[in-house]
Amino acid sequence: MRLAAIDIGTNACRLLITEVTVNQQNKPVFNKLNLVRVPLRLGFDVFESGIISKEKKGMILQTMKAYSHLMNAYKVEKCIAVATSAMRDAKNREEVVRNIFLETGISIKVISGDFEASLIYESHIAENLNENNNYLYIDVGGGSTELTFFANNELVFKQSFNIGTIRLLKGLPNDSIWDELKDTIKEKIKGQKNIVAIGTGGNINKVFSMSKKKEGKPLDIELLKDYYKEFSSCTLEERIRIYNLREDRADVIVPALLIYIQVMKWTDINEILVPKIGLVDGLIQHLYAEMAG
């Protein structure tokens, strides 16, 4: 069975096409066939003017048409498409969603921050890790940061905060939102032992690749701080040239590192695992679970 997931994020739009088979233990096995990313950067419109501009509407539509053709080529049986923080904030989101549906047949659901947080752990990464530890998922996007905390194999809390990389670039999150994040961490996680962080999102994946660490090995908070200082001391052009980064990664990687570092500091976590999964992976799992009933 072939399934597809589309995540229309604040910085980029991703399509994941996956083949799902069932193994001898009657458990699903998920094999990635293709992952496509288009840097739409919707947040730069929405966080400035409150709407998605005519130009960006055209870009989303062309992207969705391309994704529709790709899904047809792969003979995808079922697709799930969601939009997150930027679309949540866009005053003209209903018009955009309706137009995409009429032109492509792709039905987009604008999801809440809490639902976004729950989708990240649907990738079930923690299930394959040491069950004696507690796990904090930190997912940093362009418009929001989602925290999901597991203790004793149970979900303790999940919450979305309007602190994201593009919002920070635009100078948007005020002190009260940072305080809310800090206070929530102190209240919900205080006193918990053996906490391991699990980092998701394109920026932490990029940092992990640059670190040349072996798969499954954690990144140390001191290493994140070193990268943050290094990147912060460069201009955007230098970051692109020296570190071979795309422009749409080179600008957001600095605020992303700041968010990961702050969350880890406030939770007294020194290491973060980077399983290289994202919202689209959780969406595929969610879609499969829905279909399996």
| CATH number of the domain within which 210 lies | 3.30.420.150
Task: Please count the CA atoms within 13 angstroms of the CA of 230 that sit on its side-chain side.
Answer: 15
- To the nearest whole number, what is the mean pLDDT of the chain? 93
Residues 24 and 42 in one domain: yes
Please give the Cα distance from 238 to 7 (Å, whole number): 30
Maximum mean pLDDT: which of 10-14, 113-117, 168-172: 10-14
CA torsion sign for 115, 286, 203, 65 is: negative
Q: Identify the helix (H) or strand (E) that includes residue 79.
A: strand 78-83
Please give the Cα distance from 225 to 265 (Å, whole number): 11
Residues 71 and 200 in one domain: no
Residues 156 and 263 in one domain: yes
Residue 2, both tokens: 């072939």
Single out the residue of 185, 160, 163 nearest to residue 174, CA to CA: 163
Give pLDDT, residue 132.
82
Please give the Cα distance from 145 to 255 (Å, whole number): 12
CA torsion sign for 274, 277, 278, 279 is: negative
Residues 108 and 156 in one domain: no
Higher pLDDT, 24 or 225: 225
Residue 287: give its domain's CATH number. 3.30.420.40
Give pLDDT, residue 155.
85
Residues 92 and 195 in one domain: no
Whole-model pTM: value is 0.91
Check whether 63 has a pLDDT greater than 70: yes
Give pLDDT, residue 123.
61
Residues 268 and 143 in one domain: yes
Alpha helix (H) residue ranges in the chain: 42-49, 54-73, 85-89, 93-104, 113-121, 165-169, 175-189, 202-211, 221-232, 236-243, 247-250, 253-266, 279-292
Please give the Cα distance from 120 to 92 (Å, whole number): 27
Q: Is position 248 within any domain?
A: yes
Q: Is position 263 within any domain?
A: yes
Residues 284 and 272 in one domain: no
* Residue 27 backbone zone (phi > 0: left; psi -120 to 50: alpha; other: beta): beta
Give pLDDT, residue 129.
67
Q: Is position 121 within any domain?
A: no
Contact 12, 38 (CB under 8 A): yes
Q: How far is CA 190 from CA 31, 149, 182, 184, 281, in A?
A: 38, 12, 11, 9, 30
Summarised one tens digit per residue, pLDDT across range 108-152 is: 999 998 898 888 767 666 566 677 888 999 999 999 999 999 888
Residue 261, both tokens: 């570092």
CB atoms within 10 A of CB 95: 13
Query: 52 is in which domain, residue-wise?
Result: 2-113+280-292
Please give the Cα distance from 266 to 114 (Å, whole number): 21
* β-sheet bridge partners, residue 138: 147, 199
Residues 107 and 242 in one domain: no
Residues 141 and 89 in one domain: no
**Would you place residue 183 in the very low, low, confident or very high pLDDT band (cuts 50, 70, 90)?**
very high
Alpha helix (H) residue ranges in 50-164: 54-73, 85-89, 93-104, 113-121
Summarised one tens digit per residue, pLDDT across range 204-244 is: 999 999 999 998 899 999 999 999 999 999 999 999 999 99
Residues 179 and 55 in one domain: no
Residue 69, both tokens: 């053709």
Q: Do the bridges between strand 134-140 and strand 195-200 make them parallel or antiparallel, or are there none, so unpaired?
A: parallel
